[in-house]
A = this chain, B = another copy of it.
Amino acid sequence: MTILSIPRRGFMLCLSSPSGAGKTSICSRVLDLDPQTTLSVSVTTRPMRPGEVDGEDYFFVSSDKYKEMVANGDLLEHATVFNHGYGTPKDFVFDSLSMGKDVLFDIDWQGTQQLSQLARTDLVSIFILPPTTQVLEQRLRTRAQDPEEVIQLRMSEANQEISHWAEYDYVIVNNSLEHSVAQARSIITAERLRRTRQIGLTHFVNGLRGIE
């Protein structure tokens, strides 16, 4: 057995932040740079926004289909935000973990709490904070398609989301995208090196010690 083949179990990595603090950019850079990570694509009942792609940003489903998935237990977690349903398809996640892939979740505190109750040992959570309130507001305002009342609602929602920072394992203050991406990647590297995730180690060590 070479060291490269020591089997490991993947983990779920939840990244949460108030909208505008940069978690989606961080996620997308990590996914680009690290082929051992994959994104969990949620289902949602909210309407598609300009530029969004079905099956990439979300699986856009009807309210009836969503209720059916909830009833069948097809969703690992689900939550209602701004009157729309959001949920995580279950099979994709568990299949990825057992193949040693790490699944990234771009979800809010409600989703993270639900995942945490379901699978604490498989879960790693990172909260992304903006460096200042001004930066957060600025970032929210550059989404030109949103009217002022939506921005105000988002600011208040951001404040709510931030109030859950202390439920997370790690906290990154996103002052620079590249620096935050490097920090997220260090967390991923470290979590892979955890003894408990390297499920092939017992076999490997027995080999080293001449015990078969």
- Which chain A residues have a beta carbon within 8 Å of chain B's beta carbons? 3, 6, 126-127, 129-133, 136, 159, 162-163, 165-166, 168-173, 175, 183, 185-187, 189-191, 193-195, 198, 201-202, 204-205, 208-210
B208 touches A162 (CB 8 A): yes
Between-chain CB contacts (< 8 Å), 29 pairs: A3-B175, A6-B173, A127-B195, A129-B204, A129-B205, A129-B208, A130-B208, A132-B208, A133-B208, A133-B209, A133-B210, A159-B209, A162-B209, A165-B195, A165-B205, A166-B201, A166-B202, A168-B195, A170-B194, A171-B198, A171-B201, A183-B189, A185-B186, A186-B186, A186-B189, A186-B190, A187-B193, A189-B190, A190-B191
Q: Please, which residues of chain B bring their CB within 8 A of the CB of A163?
A: 209
